[in-house]
Structure 1
Amino acid sequence: MRRILPIFLIAALVSGLIYAPLCRAQDETGTKPQDPEVKVEVVGLSIAKGDPNDKFDRSVVRGLPRGTALHFAITDKTRFFTRFEKESAKIELFTDQKGTDLLKPSALNKAKMGLLPSVSDDHHTAMFSMTAPQTPAPGAKEIHFRGKVVVETGVDEKTEEQKRLLLKEGSEITVGPCLFKIKNIQAFGENNLQITLTSDKSHSAIKTIEFIGADGKKIKTRKTGQSSVGWDKNKTYDLYYSLTKEKEKGPKDKTAPKGAEKMMSELVTVRITYFTKVDKLEVPIDVKVGLGL
């Protein structure tokens, strides 16, 4: 496991904001960071009082967690983040400058990492929240947070190809870290296909998926989104791609298939680049954030 020296953050006071973007991370330890490529940033803050009449101990603001939440982004253009190791997240300190212990449990809540840590589409930014059940004291102007998170990163890149794939619903992609099926395919316009790939295993280790036409030329491939449904072993993962075929030049044969129709009638090659191993990056965080209240 790699470890980054603590990064100390101070956010400028943000007047009148309850949920607002804050300042970029600054290294004020006087020590050169072990891993200068890694940037930690506080990107948001939310504060909501608990609802004394709610039997589930929720906040009075629906959609926000009870208490205080800090929202972070970790960015590193040299690494490929795959997922957070939630069980390794740790909160050591969460207070305001008046000494209020924001970690004090409420009836049903305790301090924790937020429910939905996520990774950006390019896998270079990992986003997460840290929540505590209590709110700062009246007149408090600063929150101090100290803790750590562990992010998994892909290493040992590998590329595999599967030839003679027919782009139709039900076709299987058997190379790479998980089995995919083409769940849905639709033609949009003359030269574009929208494809949904589905799997019962996480695709977090996949770096890129490319398609090569029967003519040996790359088909312009763009990932348009991803989603997952279910829990644990019953979870399914979908990836959404847009495939665009370049318009053919020269005389046109009106009887021959073209564009999207041609892509679905030819056998293509799919090329998947993925990571075969996982490294763990430990990121200690020590932040002071102004409330501006």
Structure 2
Amino acid sequence: MTDVVLDDDGVARSIEEVRELRVVPPLWCAGQDPNGQPCRQRMRVKALHSTLKSPHFAGGHIGGCDHGSHRSEDRPGDVGHLHPVATGTAGWRVVVGEDAPTTGPDGRRRPDDQVAGTTTRRYVPGPTTAGNAGTGRRHLESVLQAAIAGALPPTMTLPGGQPLPASETVVSASDGRDSRFAARDFIVWGAVTVTRRVGSEGATMLLLGDRAQRFGVLIPADLRPRFALARDDEFVGRHAAVLGSRRGAADRPYIAPRDAGHVTFLPSVQVRPPKP
């Protein structure tokens, strides 16, 4: 499953942007394999006008495409049962971390609606939940895309947290300097304008925003090799979003991502798998 696709001009488009188009253009997968080979498989839009489920992109992928499968943990004890869920999309639940395998423990691709599984939970829209606001799962790249476009939903739920107004969870670099963000997790985003090497071990500080209102993103030395850019200045000009807790002095705040999946860039940067 993928949240962002490319059009013929190479412009990244979210499902929200495609919904606003009068004519849906040809769309292509924006992912890539672990070697950096672009997927660029044809994508289509499903359920664009459905009242039962949210619209989404679907299509094939090359082997190892990082947009081909996102984490979907099996839940035990649900064989043969359907679980009603809400169909609205009033808020987003942010998903971070590494992608899970595309197959379940028995080797089947999941979800497989034609073959009953022993542990996979299946959701269907039901009348008992139709009046509740649903929560769509979105990866950090989709959140960044929506923030740039000014199209964030009313509420956001960070991993392990509760739904909060988007204005309190996803903020620009200048707003992230506010003292109310000093003691909790949030997402800060902005354009990378300056990079600096920190210390002697190879950590990199990315500075977001203009000179007076900059916010830092500290890429630790052990994470820097996972981003496939030879030079630090190749980050400049890209937009970035990072999830974490604010550190540093009040006039020099920064976030150090705990994992490579807690920071994303547009245009995207290939993330190498961790060394075994």
Q: Which has the higher contact order (CA 8 A, sep 6+)?
A: 1
Confirm or deny a common fold (TM above 0.5).
no
Indicate the TM-score class for this superposition, using the shorter chain for normalisation: under 0.3
The structure with the larger Rg is: 1
- The TM-score, its normalising length taken from structure 2, stands at 0.24
- The TM-score, its normalising length taken from structure 1, stands at 0.23
Bigger fraction of residues in helix: 2
